[in-house]
Chain A
Amino acid sequence: MSTGTAQRPVIRAIVGSLLAGALALGVAHALLGRAFENLATDTDDRSGIVALNALTAVVQSPQSSDDTLRRTVQGWQTRTSGITASRIVRIAGAELLASTAAHDSVEAEAPRRLERDEKPLFDMAQRLRSAVNLNRDEGAPRKNEIEVESLPKGGRSFSGPFVEDGEISGLVQVQSIDTAVPRRPSWWITLGLILMVVGCAVVPAFVFRRRSRVATWGAVGAGAIGLIAALTLHGSFATKALMEAQAQGDAAIAARARSQADAVSAVIPGDVATEDSLAPGAWDTDVYRRSRGRLTADATILPAPPMPSVFGKSLFLLFAFALVLLATTVLGGFHALGRALRDNRVAYAYILPAIVGMALLVYFPFVYGVVLSFTDSTLYNANQGVAETWIGLRNYADIIFDFNVFSHGDNGWVVNYSNFYWTLFFTIVWTITNVTIGVTVGLALALVLNIKNLWFKPLYRVVLILPWAVPNYITALVWKGMFHRQFGVINQVLEIFGRQPISWFDNPLSSFATALATNGWLSFPFMMVVSMGALQSIPEELYEAAEVDGASWRQRFFAITLPALRPALVPAIILSVIWTFNMFNVIYLVTGGEPSGATEILVTQAYKFAFERYRYGYAAAYSTIIFMILLVYGIFQNRVSRATEA
């Protein structure tokens, strides 16, 4: 064995463990950095909210009145650090009671009416009022009682309700600059841990370098142990550092609360500490104005609750990825890949753009969609990682094991139209009826157009192909217009014959009929064209021979025409089933699922779950089930058609 091959496991172990270590610890490093940043943001939020609550206490104290309000707010702000502007707005009369914003003190001094471009302030005040009332009525925190917004020029604004005589009459707003500086995770620790992983993997590879199998697997095993150790160590460092950062944040907030207590008592004359609402510790609240429970009433820090892990469930995923990377490199996967790439670089260069585009915008979305189906991702938590929202198979269970198709209501049994099985049933009925209509009409037309010496044949053909040529969303909207209750021509025709006009979309059956008419209209030309092509390929002599032998037209049809049509019709029907099953535009634009979702097919239902109810995870599971159904259909169809061919 030459030295070159003996060295190979060692080199691969070094490269592989370096890559795996860099991936695992790099991500861990980044996650810790983000955790630090979140903590800093959180501290800024708390600091702003303490200031907001303190100001609210000031302006709501019985001593203040509309006349003194402006001076009080000004006085409070000069004693408070980091606040750039404060405003008090009263909803009644849309009045700006006080403002310390630079613009307001020079050009438009408060008190005054709100101006047109200040409408957002007024809206926000009303929003807060309804939020507080809603939360009180429901006895649960449902909507934010304090709104936090990032300002375009940096800094944040905090707005809370303004209470007068026990009723919410407006809002109090403060704008603050961001002061908390996030910690940076240490690169030295990360680098040291990466080196540790490399060291673990290299030792067995070097020791057994003459026996390449042992060296390879030893490097993988030791590398895995090194990875676990490094991640665990990093985790404990991270927890410790975060605890420290959190303690610092708590200390800053406690100091803030105490300084605010001083500011408040300086602004309001008299003994303020006796009032409950002026206890500085109570100012440290969350956005529902509930105490965070980190400070006592006089703003001393309580012991911190245990810190949740930085990585949560993603730790395991990270480890798995790193291990795969390590094993692939060490076992020579990348070496082989590299050689294949080098040997066929011309071919790969030609397909590279297609592969990159497809990977980014087709394959990745597919995989990500399947992953999403295992989460309860919605619009509201879409920025959270997959690990935090992971719920396993619950979406699938919710869809598949929900058998409440019928429920007993006041008027007897009613169908639950949003149930999966109803939609599946409807989709199947929809597909079968449509394909039947399409094949029957298309085949009939093709047979008629196949009559010898028929006049105007090309003209008929061009006209009858038109429905296929018109974009189907336009067809759908046109038919929707024709089925209009009051002005649609279909109802006009009914009235000519003395019938009452029909509200087509109020009844599942008539609603289904509208979609069926639309889709029937646009789908028969495809079948017609396919059948015509196949009919033309039947030699004329066959029919002549049959005629000479005295075969009836029915015998000719079943013995000659149908068998000759089958090779063309079977794939066309397969295709048409898939098209109809997925015919989004017709259902979405014609019936829109009316009445109350009765005429949704699976794809439109999935779309509505995703983009009207914003249940991304659930919609993804729904779509995955649709994919499975189509896959099973495809395999089954393939078997059947192959069996019939043979």
Chain B
Amino acid sequence: MSNDLASLPPIEAPSLRKRVASVGRYIAGIRADRASGRPGQRRWMHVAAHAFLLLMVAITLYPLLWVTTIAFSGSQSLAIVDLPEHATRWDRVRAVIPWPSTWSSQNFVSVLSDQPFGKWLFNSFLVSFGATILGLGIACSAAYAFSRLTFPGRRVGMLSFLVSQMFPGTLMMIPLYIVLVQWLNLGSSRLGLILAYATTSVPFSVWMLKGYFDTIPKDLEEAALIEGATTGQIFFRVILPLAKPALAVTALFSFMSAWNEFILAATFMNEEGMYTAPVGLRFFVGGFSQQWGYFAAGALITALPVTILFLFLQRYLVSGLTAGSVKG
């Protein structure tokens, strides 16, 4: 999902000053016909706001609490409690409240020991890690060239990266399958998935890093040049150390998008031992399999780290959106 951000068209900075002026003129024409901001009205507004927010919080949290309940219920059933034959209304209400009838960590223990889920997590980790390292390495050197060096094809190259974000996934998947599985013989292999994820993350990373490299003042490099440094030395000794924060954020984003990727992995990883965590989770509850307990426990294990990571990172994502936009 985050990969699509590179295709975001620049947001033009609102010419606020002009708008202030026009709004001022507009408002000046309006007669002040009633006093506003009475304390009583304010209090009502706050109460209504909290009511609305609490409703939305309930809607937001319910599915998450539900999956947590199933995970700790210790059984494979979708139902929170087993309903008797003639359920009363109270029984049904109980069945909706996200609180397990008995607390048990059984699902977590068995999903990691009896089921091959640990192996799938390991696959996911290896693939995401490999793809991040490879993709980031490729992206930083390209972003550096695009940011600092001039050469024929620079504009075309950047544009082609942008356009590649519009290629529909299904159109790419068949030929990608032919290239990776039939030509390179990398079907059901972690390396194949690493290559696919690394290259698909490159355009987003390049755009993101180039944006950051552009903000690094050129004086430092010029000083280094005078000292007789080569392009390589400037890249490794000056630019990369300065860009550490951007590198970290970009790396985390590409790790997360690889960790959360589902379709490619589902299509390319046919052997059960080679599944990644998303494919494995779907395996628990897809088709005729109904192992909701394993799914819920596995989903918590898989999603918790990236969810927390995302909460910390979304600031950068949003500021990246707006920063890129203001520069235009």
Contacts and interface: CB of A to CB of B under 8 A. Distances in A.
Nearest to B206: A354
B34 to A, nearest CB: 6
A550 B36 contact: yes
Given A369-B175, A382-B178, A530-B321, A547 B37 contact: yes
Interface stretch (A98-106, A416-424, A474-482): A474-482
Nearest to A494: B92
Given A365-B176, A471-B302, A473-B282, A606 B168 contact: yes
A566 B11 CA distance: 9
Contact of A347 (B145, B176, B292): B145
A489 interface: yes
B178 to A, nearest CB: 7
B151 A533 contact: no
Contacts of A547: 36-37
Interface residues of B, number: 118
B138 A354 contact: yes
A181 to B, nearest CB: 28
Find the residue from A348, A353, A472 having the highest chain B CB count within 10 A: A353
Nearest to A645: B12
Interface in A594-646: 603, 606-607, 610-611, 616, 619-620, 622-624, 626-627, 630-631, 634, 638, 641, 645
B168 A630 contact: yes
Contacts of B32: 548-550
B202 interface: yes
A460 interface: yes
B274 interface: no
Interface stretch (A81-89, A193-201, A271-279, A355-363): A355-363
A534 to B, nearest CB: 8
Interface string A111-136: 00000000000000000000000000
B11 A568 contact: yes
B189 interface: no
B151 to A, nearest CB: 4
Interface in B1-38: 1, 4-5, 7-14, 16, 19-20, 23-24, 26-28, 30-34, 36-37
A470 B64 contact: yes
Contacts of B152: 340, 344
A123 to B, nearest CB: 21
Contact of B169 (A529, A533, A582, A622): A582
Given A355-B157, A474-B299, A477-B295, A482 B63 contact: yes
A353 B311 contact: no
A346 B23 contact: no
B199 interface: yes
Contact of B96 (A489, A579, A584): A489
B49 A575 contact: no
Nearest to A575: B8
Given A354-B141, A451-B45, A471-B303, A445 B53 contact: yes
A425 interface: no
B126 interface: no
Interface in A514-539: 521, 529-530, 533, 537, 539
B307 A470 contact: yes
Q: Do most interface residues of chain A lie in helix, strand or loop, or is the interface mixed?
A: helix
A465 B317 CA distance: 13
Contacts of A444: 52
Nearest to A367: B175
A571 B89 contact: no
A108 interface: no
A351 B145 contact: yes
B53 A449 contact: yes
B30 A495 contact: no
A638 to B, nearest CB: 7
A575 B166 contact: no
Find the residue from A369, A382, A578 having the highest chain B CB count within 10 A: A369
Find the residue from B13, B77, B151, B295 having the highest chain A CB count within 10 A: B151
B14 A567 contact: yes
A445 B231 CA distance: 49
Interface of A: 340, 344, 346-348, 350-351, 353-355, 357-358, 360-366, 368-370, 372, 382, 441, 444-445, 448-449, 451, 454-455, 460, 462-475, 477-482, 484, 486-489, 492-493, 495-496, 521, 529-530, 533, 537, 539, 542, 545-551, 555, 559-560, 563-564, 566-568, 570-571, 574-575, 578-579, 582, 584-585, 588-589, 603, 606-607, 610-611, 616, 619-620, 622-624, 626-627, 630-631, 634, 638, 641, 645
Interface of B: 1, 4-5, 7-14, 16, 19-20, 23-24, 26-28, 30-34, 36-37, 45-46, 49-50, 52-53, 56-57, 59-61, 63-64, 66-67, 70, 77-80, 87, 89, 92-93, 95-96, 137-139, 141-142, 144-146, 149-152, 154, 157, 160-161, 164, 166-176, 178-180, 182, 195-196, 198-200, 202-203, 206, 231, 235, 259-260, 262-263, 267, 278, 281-282, 285, 292, 295, 299, 302-303, 306-308, 310-311, 314, 318, 321-322, 325
10 contacts: A351-B146, A354-B139, A365-B172, A451-B45, A464-B60, A479-B63, A482-B66, A492-B95, A496-B89, A533-B322
Given A469-B314, A606-B170, 18 more contacts: A354-B141, A366-B172, A368-B178, A372-B174, A487-B79, A489-B80, A492-B96, A550-B34, A555-B30, A559-B27, A567-B12, A568-B325, A571-B8, A575-B5, A584-B169, A585-B263, A630-B166, A634-B166
